[in-house]
Structure 1
């Protein structure tokens, strides 16, 4: 009976990632096209709408984490936020004015920001309890996103008007919410959670603070690359169909690395795997800065699998390892806020100016410089980990 229950929980976890990323993958990649083609929103207005997501995440992701730690009802909170995200997305169909699109974008981002960190918190906790493989679960997210980008592009190009992305997205996210309710629950602690004290613990945790900077410098450029990669490919001479195919290959290449990430981690260690993924990212950005031939880009697009497919499982496990269990969700949402939120916004924002005033290739020099800084800090953490006293030394002492 126990084995059957574990199997059901793993099925729910995998299904959640698949449908949640099918939902967001249906909406987000084609949102800017919908706004310009069907709603005739200007380019600057589209830029403002698209930039809201990372900014909102900076504030809301830690909020969801602290609320989860306080209520200890992570899966219920996840189910509500996932379904509400899908319903809010329908607002893009219902409304037709720019101010209302701003409102929809802000609300969509606020609830969407809870999906990944809360589901990661549940998955990490359960895989450690059952000696499972987190990467083997998380890869279904990459699979769902890759399928959504490819299929929705074909569907909206040949069969249906582009606004169906919101209908499909809502349906997928509601399905994910149902699966969230079937996820394993968490063991409630008898002691009352002190949110202020927990937050103080995190910001006085030296390895945690340093790793937040590593996330900002090493992982955020990979997210910002989603914004500039199509422009880079276009400038390199790729056709529209080739751009779509390369995006699909890049996302799908993450799957095998996520599947076997735990083997790398067990053999090399968390920080060494993070260093490896950061080094591959650095190589990729430097290569793109040199304005390579199109065939070289084709040959190296799978490096995204190493950069993201190894980093995500290793980084999440490292955050869980260095933070107390009673503030786990808060720590994971802060990690997401730095990488998915502030870091993504910074790289996208600064990259936009570099693109306007220099070139698209120079954007990747920015990414490379950040990656060098991230590699240096990761190396510091590797050395510090060898000295247990240095590893656990706190950065700041707070007085009550």
Structure 2
């Protein structure tokens, strides 16, 4: 009994540490990604220039996220990679606000993305493995990321209005440093290198279910990520304020937390792919609605739907990848999925969105992105039937 209590205490403390890590890591993301487009616009850049800088982050992510994953799988070095990369990101974050040209803004943001792109797939891999081994719910950890993002985006908006938008970089750096200190206590969960990485990678790209999920994430979640960049332009276009942008992200991201807590139960009851389809449907309807030029009040009231789209999609997708990917390349599989689905998708639709917003207007942009998201729903329906056939 004493040993069981000690074990429970250890599990509980590790769960709290993992939750704290998600919280502070996404505080950094919330402060940076929600306010950086407005910071760049305030420095005299056009919407297309600001969008192109934001799109460089995903380009770098596409290249480096799989590399960080392969290093972790090959050398079982998750904690060392996290410490090195997050320190690198924090260092560049400290000097970002001193840049004064489009090229420097571009290069510095690419450097930050290069380093902080390691965080999500490594942390997800550790968390998925730890929760599965100890009978805990991954969604109860991931929700702390949503809370951190919400708190940071709201707080960054208020601080930016009270001081100036360069304050977002100090929030980013501070949160990254906290994560560096927390890294040592993370559980060491990855399996040791088995010598079959090349075989596992080859096998991975011949798994139709994995490829279909990546494609749907490219379409559905890529548009969600593009919204994080475009939303400030949209919200000010309908009469909102900079502080209102931060409050919007607080409500939207904050609504993800309770949904993520319930995600495990919903996945067990209905299955991973039906949950993914529901999340994608809600997301698609949201972008079409934004294209109708709604009022600020209506937009604020309906921000909670992000909880359904993001709060269900992220845990369901991560668990599905863990189920279909070869054991020896779990971190790599999550890294490639995140790079292509989130990174390449975010890059593509952020760039397209910026060009459309400059050429037409932000409302036409959201209508077209809504259509893209609907195509992603169709891909998930195909995945449902492919998965059903595979199981039978």
TM (norm. structure 2) is: 0.91
Q: Once the 2 structures are TM-superposed, how far is the Cα of residue 387 of structure 1 from its aligned partner?
A: 2.0
| Aligned residue number for residue 234 of structure 2 | 232
> Aligned pair 1:152/2:156, yes or no?
yes
Structure 1 residues 22 and 188 mapped into 2: Cα distance closer, same or farther (>3 Å)?
same
CA deviation map 1:255-299 (0-9, x unaligned): 111111111111110001001101111221222223334443233
Q: Once the 2 structures are TM-superposed, how far is the Cα of residue 227 of structure 1 from its aligned partner?
A: 1.8
Asked if 1 retains the 8 angstrom alpha-carbon contact of 2:273 and 2:316, the reply is: yes
Q: Once the 2 structures are TM-superposed, how far is the Cα of residue 340 of structure 1 from its aligned partner?
A: 2.2
| Aligned residue number for residue 397 of structure 1 | none
Runs (5+) with no aligned partner, structure 1: 391-400
| Aligned residue number for residue 333 of structure 2 | 331
Provide the rounded CA distance (Å) in 1 between the counterparts of 2:64 and 2:327.
21
> Aligned pair 1:15/2:20, yes or no?
yes
Provide the rounded CA distance (Å) in 2 between the counterparts of 1:41 and 1:234.
17
RMSD value, Cα? 2.1
Provide the rounded CA distance (Å) in 2 between the counterparts of 1:221 and 1:45.
18
Asked if 1 retains the 8 angstrom alpha-carbon contact of 2:56 and 2:109, the reply is: yes
Q: Once the 2 structures are TM-superposed, how far is the Cα of residue 237 of structure 1 from its aligned partner?
A: 3.1
CA deviation map 1:133-188 (0-9, x unaligned): 11111111111111112222222332x45434323322221111221221110254
Q: 1:70 aligns with which of 74, 85, 105?
A: 74
Provide the rounded CA distance (Å) in 2 between the counterparts of 1:138 and 1:364.
28
Provide the rounded CA distance (Å) in 2 between the counterparts of 1:285 and 1:251.
16
Asked if 1 retains the 8 angstrom alpha-carbon contact of 2:287 and 2:370, the reply is: yes
Q: Once the 2 structures are TM-superposed, how far is the Cα of residue 99 of structure 1 from its aligned partner?
A: 4.2
Q: Once the 2 structures are TM-superposed, how far is the Cα of residue 201 of structure 1 from its aligned partner?
A: 1.5
Asked if 2 retains the 8 angstrom alpha-carbon contact of 1:16 and 1:177, the reply is: no
Q: 1:114 aligns with which of 112, 118, 124?
A: 118
Asked if 2 retains the 8 angstrom alpha-carbon contact of 1:20 and 1:82, the reply is: no
| Aligned residue number for residue 123 of structure 1 | 127
Asked if 1 retains the 8 angstrom alpha-carbon contact of 2:126 and 2:190, the reply is: no
| Aligned residue number for residue 166 of structure 1 | 169
Q: Once the 2 structures are TM-superposed, how far is the Cα of residue 45 of structure 1 from its aligned partner?
A: 5.1
SS at match of 1:310: helix
| Aligned residue-pair number | 386
Q: Once the 2 structures are TM-superposed, how far is the Cα of residue 62 of structure 1 from its aligned partner?
A: 1.1
Q: 1:55 aligns with which of 30, 34, 59?
A: 59
Structure 1 residues 187 and 218 mapped into 2: Cα distance closer, same or farther (>3 Å)?
closer
> Aligned pair 1:89/2:99, yes or no?
no
Q: Once the 2 structures are TM-superposed, how far is the Cα of residue 389 of structure 1 from its aligned partner?
A: 6.4
> Aligned pair 1:30/2:35, yes or no?
yes
| Aligned residue number for residue 393 of structure 1 | none
The correspondence of residues 201-240 of structure 1 with structure 2, limited to 5 A, is 201-240=203-242
Provide the rounded CA distance (Å) in 1 between the counterparts of 2:116 and 2:75.
19
| Aligned residue number for residue 307 of structure 1 | 309
SS at match of 2:339: helix
| Aligned residue number for residue 179 of structure 1 | 182
